[in-house]
Amino acid sequence: MSDSQSSFQIAIDGPVAAGKGTVSKLVASRLGFLYVDTGAMYRMTALLGIRNQVNLDDEQALLPLVKKSKMEMRTPNENEQDGRLVTVFLNGEDVSWKIRTEEVSQGSSKVAVHPLIRKELVKKQQQIAEAQSVVMEGRDITHTVLPNADLKIFLTANEIVRAKRRHLDLLTKGIDVEFEEVYQDLLQRDARDSGRETTPLQITPDAWVIDTSDLSINKVIELITTKVKVMQENK
């Protein structure tokens, strides 16, 4: 259980394109919680490296950049209703869309393998979750970031479904890319996520596994919010 009786922590893990972002954002909105996209922090780290011309494979060069950076998130306000799930600030600059490029996306997967970078970002993530009810999603939330979360969920779907979602998302953003390229990239990212020496993508014994392959977003949200409300009544 989370430390505060008044706060409620929902931790959601899962592979790329399983629907974590959309589901987490909508669940948070429905419950009045803060949505925290931990992947955005790895994207911000990649952006820091790219902007400072640091090799993303060089953990020692990246670490001081991350340590001195200020990473913040909040629910989008009425002037930010442009499709974003969360408003992200890096050292006071709104980088919500600057971290969504394919270059940064590829970079985020590279920096995520660094143990010291992950350790530093986990600290930042835990600080966000200390003071309020959150829906936090990523790759290592249930077992590393919020191991005492009230509700742990592993959201997944089969590879073809996830690749189709990712492909559609990129086409919608005007990025012309072949499905096969997206599919192969997804398989490579899955392998990197599962093969990390520290905090690999895994299903904890106490996690609720939800396969979204044949479920609508609304159905997934309904399942989760109903369960949370029952848990809150019994808390």
The 10s digit of each residue's pLDDT in 96-132 is: 999 999 899 999 989 998 999 999 999 999 988 887 8
Give the strands of the sheet with 208-211, arranged side by side. Answer: 34-37, 134-138, 9-13, 151-156, 208-211
Residue 3 domain flag? no
State residue 193's pLDDT score.
Answer: 82
The residue count of the chain comes to 235
Distance CA 117, CA 41 (A): 10
How many domains in the chain? 1
Q: Which residue type occupies 234?
A: N
Is residue 2 in some structural domain? Answer: no
pLDDT at 169: 87
DSSP letter at 16 equals T
d(CA 69, CA 231): 36
Query: What are the tens digits of pLDDT across the range 26-68?
Result: 999 999 999 998 989 999 999 999 999 999 999 999 999 999 9
Q: With respect to residue 1, please indicate whether it lies within any of the assigned structural domains.
A: no
- The yes-or-no verdict on residue 176 having pLDDT over 70 is yes
pLDDT confidence of residue 235: 74
Query: Tokens 């669940």, residue?
Result: 27
235 falls within a domain: no
Q: Is residue 4 part of a domain?
A: no
How confident is the prediction for the chain on average, in pLDDT?
Answer: 91
Predicted confidence at residue 42, as pLDDT, reads: 95
User: What's the predicted TM-score (pTM) here?
Assistant: 0.81
What values do phi and psi take at 154, rounded to 5? Answer: -115, 110
Question: Phi then psi for 207, rounded to 5 degrees?
Answer: -85, 145
Q: What is the pLDDT of residue 140?
A: 87
Q: Give the domain extent around 57.
A: 9-230
Task: Select from 209, 233, 217 the least CA-distant residue to 15.
Answer: 209
Provide the CATH number for the domain around residue 123: 3.40.50.300
DSSP state of 197: S
